Chains A and B, each alone.
Chain A
Amino acid sequence: MLETTVPEGPVIRIFRAMKLPVGDNFAMAGLIIYVIFALTAIFAPVLAPYEPTEILYTVDYDLASDLLPGQEGHILGTTSLGRDIFSQIVFGARAALLVGLTAAFMVAFIGTIVGLISGYYGGWVDTILMRLADVAFGIPFLPFVIVISAFLEPSIWNTVIAMALVLWRDTARVIRSQVLTLRSRGYVEAARVSGSSDFKIILRHIAPNIVPLSLLYGSIAIGWAILTEASISFLGFGDPNSISWGFMLQDAFASQALSRQAYHWFIPPGLAIIFVVSAGFFISRGYENLLFPKLGR
Chain B
Amino acid sequence: MTTPLVEVENAQLHYRVGSAVSAMMGLPSVVKAVDGISFSLNKGESVGLLGESGCGKTSMGRLLVRLENVTGGSARFDGAEISQLKGRALRTFRSRSQMIFQNPFDAVNPRYTLAKTMAEPLANAGIPKSEWRDRIIKALELVRLADPEQYLDRFPHQLSGGQLQRVVMARALILEPDFVVADEPVSMLDVSVRAGVLNVFREVRDKLGLTAIYISHDLALVRYVCERTIVMYLGRIMEDGPTEAIVREPLHPYTQALVAAVPTPNADQSHEPLPIGRGAPDPRNPPSGCVFRDRCPKAFDRCAAEVPASKKVGTRHVACHLFDEAG
Size of interface on B: residues with Cβ below 8 Å to A: 28
> Which chain B residue lies CB-closest to A191?
B120
Residue interface bits A192-213, CB-to-B below 8 A is 1, else 0: 1111110010001100100000
User: In the assembly, what is the distance between CA of A7 and CA of B158, in Å?
Assistant: 13
Question: Does B171 contact A194, Cβ atoms closer than 8 Å?
Answer: yes
Evaluate whether A190 and B171 lie within 8 angstroms (CB atoms) in the complex, with A6-B155, A185-B106, A208-B111 already known.
yes
Residue interface bits B30-68, CB-to-A below 8 A is 1, else 0: 000000000000000000000000000000000001110
Residue interface bits A202-240, CB-to-B below 8 A is 1, else 0: 001100100000000000000000000000000000000
* A19 contacts the other chain (CB 8 A): no
User: In the assembly, what is the distance between CA of A49 and CA of B229, in Å?
Assistant: 87
Q: Please give, as numbers and ranges, the residues of chain B lying within 8 Å of A190 by CB-CB distance.
A: 99, 101, 107-108, 168, 171
**Closest CB of chain A to B105's CB: distance in Å?**
8
Question: Does A193 contact B108, Cβ atoms closer than 8 Å?
Answer: no
* B256 contacts the other chain (CB 8 A): no
**Closest CB of chain B to A184's CB: distance in Å?**
10
Q: Which of B94, B101, B155, B157 contacts A195 (CB 8 A)?
A: B94
Residue interface bits A145-188, CB-to-B below 8 A is 1, else 0: 00000000000000000000000000000000000000001110
* B110 contacts the other chain (CB 8 A): yes
* B199 contacts the other chain (CB 8 A): no
User: In the assembly, what is the distance between CA of A13 and CA of B155, in Å?
Assistant: 14
* A51 contacts the other chain (CB 8 A): no
Question: Does B101 contact A205, Cβ atoms closer than 8 Å?
Answer: no
Instruction: With a 10 A CB-CB cut-off, give which of A191, A200, A204 has the most chain B CB atoms.
Output: A191
Evaluate whether A187 and B121 lie within 8 angstroms (CB atoms) in the complex, with A193-B94, A194-B98 already known.
no
> Which chain B residue lies CB-closest to A7?
B111
* B69 contacts the other chain (CB 8 A): no
* A60 contacts the other chain (CB 8 A): no
Q: Please give, as numbers and ranges, the residues of chain B lying within 8 Å of A72 by CB-CB distance.
A: none
* B22 contacts the other chain (CB 8 A): no
Chain A interface residue number, banded? 20 to 34
* A189 contacts the other chain (CB 8 A): yes
Q: Please give, as numbers and ranges, the residues of chain B lying within 8 Å of A191 by CB-CB distance.
A: 109, 120
Interface residues of B in 234-282 (CB under 8 A from A): none
Question: Does B101 contact A186, Cβ atoms closer than 8 Å?
Answer: yes
Question: Does B109 contact A205, Cβ atoms closer than 8 Å?
Answer: yes
> Which chain B residue lies CB-closest to A187?
B109
Q: Please give, as numbers and ranges, the residues of chain B lying within 8 Å of A4 by CB-CB distance.
A: 110
| Sample (23) of A-B pairs whose CB atoms are under 8 Å apart | A3-B110, A13-B111, A186-B101, A186-B102, A186-B103, A187-B107, A187-B109, A189-B101, A190-B99, A193-B94, A193-B98, A194-B98, A194-B120, A194-B124, A194-B171, A195-B94, A195-B121, A195-B124, A196-B120, A197-B124, A200-B124, A205-B109, A208-B111
**A residues neighboring B (CB under 8 Å):** 3-4, 6-7, 13, 185-187, 189-197, 200, 204-205, 208
Closest 8 CB pairs of A and B: A186-B106, A195-B94, A195-B124, A194-B121, A186-B107, A3-B110, A187-B109, A193-B99
